[in-house]
Chains A and B, each alone.
Chain A
Amino acid sequence: MHVRIPFAMTTLAAGLLSAAQVNANSVDLTMYYPVSVGGALTDVIDNLVAEFENEYPDINVEAIYAGNYDDTRVRAMSAIEAGDAPQLSVLFSIDLYELIEQNAIVAFDDLIETDEEREWLDSFYPGLMENGQLDGKTYGIPFQRSTIVLFWNKDAFEAAGLDPETPPENWEEMAEMAATIREASNGDQWGVMVPSTGYPYWMFQAFAFQNGHRLMSDDGTEVYFNDPAAIEALEYWVSLTTEHNAMPDGTIEWGTLRQNFLEASTAMMWHTTGNLTAVRNEATFDFGVAMLPMNTQRGSPTGGGNFYIFEDASEEEQRAAMTFIRWMTAPERAAAWSIETGYMGVSPAAYETDALQNYVEEFSPAAVARDQLEHGTAELSTYQGGRVRRALDNAVQAALTGQMTPEEALNQAQREAEGVLRRYAR
């Protein structure tokens, strides 16, 4: 807290100055943003905003924390409907189609004026841009972005007679290692947990992609849930419980999983990189972070939130929002943000900053998400995304809880999704 007072003071001073001098030119921006991982991220955002306002006294940003990704989308959409639209927001990267369908957002290409800005637009990792682009235009700028990584408890590996420095390379190894740990602990500890509430479709995408399969088309109008490769992927996930006895029965809660890992009730977990810093701060044992294991190829979907600028904002507000977004995604900030949270530095330049270079050197897990990015795929994103994702979520949960076979479940999800997407076929 003691850091904040000078912030507040300087902001206040700057505010007074600007009020006196450039009152007529000051712009007020409202921004909704989500938090979906542990840690006091709201504090980090507040501090960044204060710093920005300090540097740009003419622009006031009100950052509103609105819950998880779904809540934030609902809040932003409802504000738009009520005629009180925010000028910009951080929303789920996969909300793209819904936002476009509602005519809510503008393309950054249409806002760009200078070559410098064009350069900025091209400065991000292409893998992180995929979810934000449609028909050659960019609507979403990567901000709190993640991939799924494997966290492993080195102490638990050692106790089970495994090499604590070697995480599983592929599916087979992961199943074997997990089963070994389970056995060695006499049933006290599970081998691996993959969360299946919250964002089950996301985890499933990783399995499917590792099996060489992409679940949707590029234009968001088709899905391929019941492809044999997808079925095989879900079968593997289910087999971790049924065959290898390495993962507990039923669904695994996204929110409490980190706690499970920290309590050592599982030796491995799949989770977002966004949890990295929180795990690092709280773990009482030695842990490592690795890329997810592969089957036919490595892979993880990207995830997380993008910046969007809204249609209803005035031109002046949109320009101010651009300024803010550029400032927030500049390499130094992206680096600081990554260090504070575990989310990725969104551009190669961020990893070239001294801060992040030093951090990666001292704490190598911080680079895993970046290294995995070359094996990344876009997160599941379609028209009617809410329903389509829910169909897949239900299928995954039905299979994991033994209500249906993976094949039945995915066939049903495919039918449901096709029904929903019928009107959108191009």
Chain B
Amino acid sequence: MKSVTAKSKTYAPRPDYFSIPALETVAAWLLAIIWIFPLLYAFWAAFHPPAYMVRFDLFAPLTLDNFKNAWAQAPFARYYLNTFTLVTGVVFAQFVVCTLAAFAFARFPIPGKNVLFMLVLIQLFVFPEVLIVENYRIASELGLINTITGIGLPYVASAFGIFLLRQTFKTIPRELEDAARIEGCNWLEILWKVYVPLAKPTYLAYGLVSISHHWNNFLWPLVVTNSVESRPLTVGLGVFSAPETGVNWATVSAATLLSIAPLLVAFLLFQRQFVQSFLRAGIR
């Protein structure tokens, strides 16, 4: 269960040991091109008139019309706002709830702690979308249908976040805690001044993973939202581009790019942090 992150801090190639002959370079590149091609194609389609969707022509005229159409045909601005609110809210709430729980598991003598912890870990497997029918009913009874809270709340007590933070907290030396106590800090101050600052990399990692997860989440938001006021980007995109609407493909491409753009740009800018975070968070 422990993390391998200590050994994977760098991406620097190891000198020579695994040098790759030419054939493999070609294979690696070929695979890379295949892998990135769908995205490039979407770009190409989004910036050219619909007629060129299925006819490749290097000199096809460039256009922004598809983006204008997509923007005009669906309330993407609102979807952005919803997704943004959702993601910030969920991540913030997860930080608070998971920090408290992780702190309890790491430092407090709770009776039956191991059993409780196992119970928490069950949620790694029984996630909200599997229980979609009952969670829908519960959300409905709590008046959370068609609210952004309703999309996010089931994910707030994240077993994964609790686990990750507990691991980190456990590695923090007791001496630091004792020193703070001598200075007169109470438990919450110790948590805030000692544990949280030292766990920053974990928060970053978990935050990035959580952001990507909730930016991309679809099934539960689809079920729990009814209207533009609460629909996140993924659901908006799904509703907009479902094949039976017959919306033209170039517009769908543009809409697709619109919905992935912020995350994609963030990823391209902070590639290393993203990969490190997924890695750190993934080994559990």
Q: Note whether A and B contact each other (Cβ less than 8 A).
A: yes
Chain A residues with a Cβ under 8 A of chain B: 1, 32, 35-40, 42-43, 64-68, 71, 75, 78-79, 81-84, 197-198, 253-259, 263, 275, 278, 282
Q: Are B143 and A255 in contact (CB under 8 A)?
A: no
Residues in B neighbouring A36, C-beta threshold 8 A: 244-245
With A and B bound together, what is the CA distance between A79 and B146 in angstroms?
Answer: 8
With A and B bound together, what is the CA distance between A40 and B74 in angstroms?
Answer: 9
Scan B220-252; emit 1 where CB is below 8 A from any A CB, else 0: 000100111000000000110011111111000
Given contacts A42-B73, A43-B72, contact A67 B242 (CB under 8 A): yes
Identify B140's interface contact among A1, A81, A256, A257, CB under 8 A: A81
**Residue B106 is within 8 A (CB to CB) of chain A in the complex:** no
**Residue B54 is within 8 A (CB to CB) of chain A in the complex:** yes
Given contacts A40-B73, A81-B140, contact A256 B146 (CB under 8 A): no
29 cross-chain CB contacts under 8 A: A32-B226, A37-B246, A38-B247, A39-B246, A42-B73, A43-B72, A64-B227, A65-B228, A65-B239, A66-B226, A68-B242, A71-B239, A78-B136, A78-B223, A82-B143, A82-B145, A84-B226, A253-B243, A254-B244, A254-B246, A255-B243, A255-B245, A255-B246, A256-B243, A256-B246, A257-B246, A259-B246, A259-B249, A278-B246
Given contacts A78-B226, A255-B244, contact A42 B145 (CB under 8 A): no
Q: Are B247 and A79 in contact (CB under 8 A)?
A: no
Most buried by B among A65, A263, A282: A65
Q: Across the two chains, which residue of chain A brings its CB closest to B224? A: A78
Chain B residues with a Cβ under 8 A of chain A: 50, 54, 69, 72-74, 136, 140, 143, 145-146, 223, 226-228, 238-239, 242-249
With A and B bound together, what is the CA distance between A278 and B73 in angstroms?
Answer: 14
Given contacts A37-B245, A43-B73, contact A84 B239 (CB under 8 A): no
Identify A38's interface contact among B143, B146, B245, CB under 8 A: B245
Identify B239's interface contact among A43, A67, A82, A275, CB under 8 A: A67
Q: Are B244 and A198 in contact (CB under 8 A)?
A: yes
Told that A68-B242, A71-B239, A198-B243 touch, could you supply 16 new A-B pairs with CB distance under 8 A?
A36-B244, A38-B247, A40-B72, A64-B226, A64-B227, A64-B228, A66-B227, A75-B227, A78-B145, A79-B145, A81-B145, A254-B243, A255-B244, A255-B245, A257-B246, A275-B246
Residues in A neighbouring B146, C-beta threshold 8 A: 79, 82, 84
Residues in A neighbouring B238, C-beta threshold 8 A: 67
Q: Are A38 and B248 in contact (CB under 8 A)?
A: yes
Most buried by B among A66, A78, A278: A78
Shortest A317–chain B CB gap in Å is 18
Q: Are B72 and A1 in contact (CB under 8 A)?
A: yes
The 7 residue pairs across chains A and B that have the minimum distance between CB atoms:
A255-B243, A38-B246, A82-B145, A67-B239, A64-B227, A75-B226, A82-B140
Residues in A neighbouring B249, C-beta threshold 8 A: 259
Most buried by A among B74, B228, B242: B242
Residues in A neighbouring B244, C-beta threshold 8 A: 36, 68, 198, 254-255
Shortest B116–chain A CB gap in Å is 33
Shortest B237–chain A CB gap in Å is 11
Q: Across the two chains, which residue of chain B brings its CB closest to A86? A: B226
Most buried by A among B145, B243, B246: B246
Residues in B neighbouring A40, C-beta threshold 8 A: 69, 72-73
With A and B bound together, what is the CA distance between A377 and B223 in angstroms?
Answer: 34
With A and B bound together, what is the CA distance between A65 and B248 in angstroms?
Answer: 18
With A and B bound together, what is the CA distance between A157 and B226 in angstroms?
Answer: 46
Q: Across the two chains, which residue of chain A brings its CB closest to B241? A: A255
Residues in B neighbouring A84, C-beta threshold 8 A: 145-146, 226
With A and B bound together, what is the CA distance between A275 and B245 in angstroms?
Answer: 10
